[in-house]
Amino acid sequence: MPVIQTINIISELATKYGLQYTSPLLQGQKTTQPDNTDTPTSHSPLGTPVFTNIVFKGTPYIDATPYPTQLSFPDIEFQTVLLTVSQAKKIVKTEIQGRNGTVKEYIGMDDYHITINAIINGANYTYPWAHVNAIKQMLDAPIPIAVECKYLNALGINTVVVESYQIGQEEGKYSQQKITISCISDIPILLQQLTTKTIA
């Protein structure tokens, strides 16, 4: 069978079964992608596309220790980040004498628990002191923090509270800092002050 006829048959089969994106050379055209391909949110300093990042929005706040002081921190962005999200249900279990097992009463959903593993990169032979200091101030802030993250926002997580964090050194990696942040989701509550009128 001639080579050209074989290529035509393979091309027709690829088109019939939706495999045209995996055989561009057989069709003599450049590789194309579907229209629903995700677009990167930004690009790293090396020019590589970033599809998942997280931005902690800078917020002014009052620090009451040792005396009230107004502080603030800038927007903190992690481009090299891995996120793990877990959520549990709140269920009350009641034991009844003479009955096996327990009676379960569903109360509601618990907070989301989020683990953020991020890396801060500096120049060669240079530790990212400024970035780490800004991140430390953000982590110590005693307030809920708004986050911009496509992954978290899609799950309904827009505000988090930092519970704990780890900043550790790694052998042979002086120019970068690995950070692990444990936080929970938060839903802001708007408190309204009720005014009462005195009738004379």
- The structure tokens listed for 92 are 């009350």
SS3 category, 34: coil
61 and 159, same domain (yes or no): yes
Q: Is residue 11 part of a domain?
A: yes
Q: Is residue 59 part of a domain?
A: yes
Handedness of CA 116, 121, 127, 131 (dihedral sign): negative
Task: Please report the pLDDT score of residue 200 as a whole number.
Answer: 57
| CATH number where 71 lies | 2.40.30
Nearest to 116 by CA among 46, 47, 179: 179
d(CA 188, CA 111): 13
53 and 118, same domain (yes or no): yes
26 and 121, same domain (yes or no): no
pLDDT, averaged in runs of 10, over the chain (200 residues) = 58 59 47 65 72 90 84 91 94 92 92 95 89 93 93 94 94 91 88 64
What is the pTM for the complete model shown?
Answer: 0.70
Task: Please report the pLDDT score of residue 14 as a whole number.
Answer: 58
Q: Are 181 and 165 in contact (CB under 8 A)?
A: yes
108 and 142, same domain (yes or no): yes
Q: What is the distance of C-alpha 97 from the center of its chain?
A: 46
Task: Please report the pLDDT score of residue 23 as a whole number.
Answer: 42
65 and 8, same domain (yes or no): no
- The structure tokens listed for 186 are 């938060």
86 and 144, same domain (yes or no): yes
The whole domain housing 68 covers 42-185
